[in-house]
Amino acid sequence: MTPEMYPSSHPVLDDVKKLLNLPVSLAVDVADDGTLLTNTNIGGTSQLWEVRPDGARVQLTDFSSTATGRYLPGSRKLLISSDTDGNERHQLYLLDPESAVLPVSSLPALIDDPEHIYQLMALDAESLVYSTNRRNEVDFDLIRRRHFDGEEEILWAGGGNFAQVSASPDGRYLVSNAMSLQPASNTLRLLDVVAKQWQVITAEDIPGQYGEVSWLADSSGFFSSQDADTDFRSVSFYRIADSRWHSFLAEPEVNVTIRLNEAGNRALIQRLKDGQSTLSLSDLHTGDNLPELGPEVPVSLPEAGYAVAEISANGQQLAVTFSSPTFPDEVFSAALAEHLGEGPISLTQRTFAEGREIAKKLPSTELVRIPTRDGEQIPAFVTRGDASAVLNIHGGPEAASLYQWSPRNAALMLSGHTVVVPNVRGSSGYGRRWMSMDDVELRLDSVEDLVDIHRWLVGSGINAGRVALYGGSYGGYMVLAGMTFHPEYWAAGVDIVGMSSLVTFMENTSPYRRAYREREYGSVEQHRQVLQDASPLPRIQKLAKPLMVIHGANDPRVPLSEAEQVAAAVRANGSECEMLVYSDEGHGLSRRKNQLDAYPRAVEFLRRTLDAVLS
């Protein structure tokens, strides 16, 4: 008998929908009085909520699309960012929750210009700094805008795109963090506000990523994490007096970052190893020489998992987002003493999703290292199930799968599959060397990693004919590449907002993103043949197994045309292709109603196609 898809009332599918319906909460800021600002998707899209010191939860926004924001330092006023239906043309809004009727469903934009992008870069009590591509739609300028009268000043109009701007406490300096033309790299520039002069303070011709900038209280210098000098991310200190970088904190095979509070006297230290986090706090001491950390006090997390944290401006409040493969994202907090004791610091859970008990039923996930044909090892998270397997490949590619909650992975686990979540070469989190091993001409080496994973799975008892690929964005490309370059290994694939041709992707992605992506993939002008040779579409006749394609109509990164052309080509070959397009989504599915439609259908599709091998 040919296996059928789950009926709509099947217990497994019912549990999958319960998992996908679980709300998650993320801490985005914390005020000096302990009020927490969170992103929570209880209503179907991620909106801003407050969790107040007495435990009351108050919804602040009810925009039509995802809203996020930050407090103005020393205030409960909010600077909010939101786009329209996933188009990523973010606009900025100011909200005073103490005078507004909550939740607000709309606000006047600070600048009424929905055709361009406005990204918050820096914020203080008097002004904000934003970047915008309104001048030519490609390059982003930096603009400082005063809150009280809206007066604007152009800080930078020299082109490029920005990740962050940070102002020194005395207002004398600004540091901008801009993308450079080296792969997975950026450039730090220092602006002397008085002299009106910019100075490049990192080597633009040497690959390196620089992270968030945190200034000392006396404005004598700042910290930034970086991997230009070390394979894994370490912390360096830039001292204004001698215009030099000084190594501050580095550990083997660990990514280390430091964030200071606004007062610049307390350090929040995060370490990331194999996708798992540890957090600690330390009081910072400054003197005539380099700053020094006091004794580190660990933060007690609920279990092994992934955590990110926010510290209040006065350093007295800590907010933590924590999750693990069986623990959906929740927000925790702690009030901190003026002087840290010996610790550890205990956290109090502040958000509680109804129905989260279902996540506890999931099987455990283990970290493994999978050997490759050339002597490397692929880090991967594996959850054991039956003799079928699904590989879920992350996007980026300069990103990573972490030891954290994923409702899509959980849904695949509930369906009974063995689930493999790999960090193939090109992934971040495992050193710059590993992240650079798929650049431009090396693209197909990462696709070969999928074959190595298949070989390992078969050696672990998985049926060789019952392995499927699943992935989003670059992971979607990997699905299509795996099924066209190595079609004999895969029984089915689910491509979510993936690229079917690297040539047409580079030609049609939004203009402001093109130069940024050329660093990783190569340019059409100089590397057309390389891009063509690594593209699934020219060899789509090889794709003969069932394919599901999911895409958002407003995707500014990977245009809908990438999905349309691959679906048309697969169907023209006479192969099965189910295509789902959502008119109110961009690069991925952010609305729960669409997730509840698409992802259970993907679960049904994979269960049917992988079970069909047995018939």
520 pLDDT tier (thresholds 50, 70, 90): confident
**The pTM is what?**
0.94
29 within 8 A of 310, measured Cβ to Cβ: yes
Range 124-151 average pLDDT: 92
Is 208 inside a domain boundary?
Answer: no
Would you state the pLDDT for residue 1? 26
pLDDT in tens, 8-35: 557 788 899 999 999 999 999 999 999 9
- Kindly state whether residues 340 and 364 are assigned to the same domain: no
- Kindly state whether residues 532 and 443 are assigned to the same domain: yes
263 pLDDT tier (thresholds 50, 70, 90): confident
- Kindly state whether residues 449 and 466 are assigned to the same domain: yes
Choose one of 294, 322, 354: the last residue of a domain.
354
- Kindly state whether residues 319 and 373 are assigned to the same domain: no
Q: What is the CATH number of the domain that holds 596?
A: 3.40.50.1820
- Kindly state whether residues 445 and 534 are assigned to the same domain: yes
Is 47 inside a domain boundary?
Answer: no
pLDDT in tens, 555-587: 999 999 999 999 999 999 999 999 999 999 999
554 within 8 A of 463, measured Cβ to Cβ: no
How many separate domains does the chain show?
Answer: 2
- Average pLDDT taken over every residue of the chain: 93
Please, where are the H alpha helices in 299-442? 407-414, 432-435
pLDDT in tens, 302-351: 999 999 999 999 999 999 999 999 999 999 999 998 888 887 999 999 99
Is 24 inside a domain boundary?
Answer: no
- Over 70: is that where the pLDDT of 2 sits? no
586 within 8 A of 66, measured Cβ to Cβ: no
- Return the SS3 of 371: strand
- Kindly state whether residues 304 and 425 are assigned to the same domain: no
- Kindly state whether residues 458 and 575 are assigned to the same domain: yes
Cα 497 → chain centroid: 15
**The domain containing residue 338 runs over which residues?**
261-354
- Kindly state whether residues 330 and 289 are assigned to the same domain: yes
Is 398 inside a domain boundary?
Answer: yes
498 pLDDT tier (thresholds 50, 70, 90): very high
pLDDT in tens, 420-441: 999 999 999 999 999 999 988 9
Q: How far is CA 22 from CA 6, 402, 566, in A?
A: 21, 19, 33
Choose one of 323, 354, 385: the last residue of a domain.
354
Is 167 inside a domain boundary?
Answer: no
- Over 70: is that where the pLDDT of 6 sits? no
Would you state the pLDDT for residue 258? 96
**What contacts 322, CB < 8 A, 6 or more positions away?**
301, 302, 305, 306, 307, 329, 330, 332, 347
